[in-house]
Structure 1
Amino acid sequence: MAIGELYDVVIDCPDTAALAEFYRQLVGGEILDSDGHWTTLATPRGRVSFQRVDDYSPPQWPGQAHPQQIHLDVMVTNLDESEPLVLELGATLLRGSSKPEGCRVYADPAGHPFCLVTN
């Protein structure tokens, strides 16, 4: 049994509306919201969100001087019940994650960030 389900793929970028529009034209869908800091594109097969990052440095391929910048949001029904399960799998609650209602930030065993989210 899975702890949660994939809810969102989040891409860091300097201009959320512009990048969401690029992907809307590339794969279709509808832009659900956009506030300058966050924009969500819903498609028939899932959603992609775009998160504004100040002083953004784009990834460079190949190489790791500027690695890829993306994280997953995993929808769960209860953060308090899901947290011990992901920690048992090897995740780490990241510093600065104040355990707010609706979202908590973790690192996977290789250090990639991901979020557990609720509605």
Structure 2
Amino acid sequence: MAIGELYDVVFDCPEPDELAEFYRELIGGKITDSDGWWTTLETPTGMRVSFQRVDDYEPPRWPGQEHPQQVHLDVMVTSLTESEPLVLELGATKLKGSRSKTGFRVYADPAGHPFCLVTN
């Protein structure tokens, strides 16, 4: 028996509303809560992803560990070739060292958090 179940994934960031909107466009869902310091996105599957404002925020750096990733999301897509331009248009950045091999590619969201697009 587990102690609990996953309820929310929370990202520190400088602008919670902007980052929530980025992820809403990336994975769908709706913004259910926002007060300028905390914004919650409920995904179509019911999972929560929240964003909290942090003053003096410093993003993680890929691939080094001086500023570790701490957390990242894998987003399943049907085609890396079709999905990459869409995430770049949303404001993502393809990270240096990200291989364009079949299977996955690594990006950073607008606040610098790494995430991957993955395929089967």
| TM superposition score category, shorter chain reference | 0.5 to 0.7
Q: Which has the larger radius of gyration?
A: 1
Residue 2 of structure 1 is matched in structure 2 by 2
- Asked if residue 13 in structure 1 is aligned to residue 23 in structure 2, the reply is no
Paired residue secondary structure (1:5): coil
Residue 43 of structure 1 is matched in structure 2 by 43
TM-fit CA distance, 1:69: 4.3
Structure 1 alignment gaps of length 5 or more: 71-119
What number of residue pairs does the alignment pair up? 71
TM-fit CA distance, 1:51: 0.9
Provide the C-alpha distance between the structure 2 equivalents of 1:53 and 1:64, rounded to a whole number of angstroms: 20
Provide the C-alpha distance between the structure 1 equivalents of 2:8 and 2:59, rounded to a whole number of angstroms: 21
For the aligned residues, what is the CA RMSD? 1.5
Higher percent of residues as strand:
1
1:25-73 Cα shifts (integer Å, max 9, x gaps): 1111000011111000001221100011100001100011111244xxx
% identity of equivalent residues: 76
Provide the C-alpha distance between the structure 2 equivalents of 1:21 and 1:36, rounded to a whole number of angstroms: 13
Q: Which consecutive segments of 4 or more residues in structure 1 shift more than 4 A?
A: none
- Asked if residue 59 in structure 1 is aligned to residue 60 in structure 2, the reply is yes
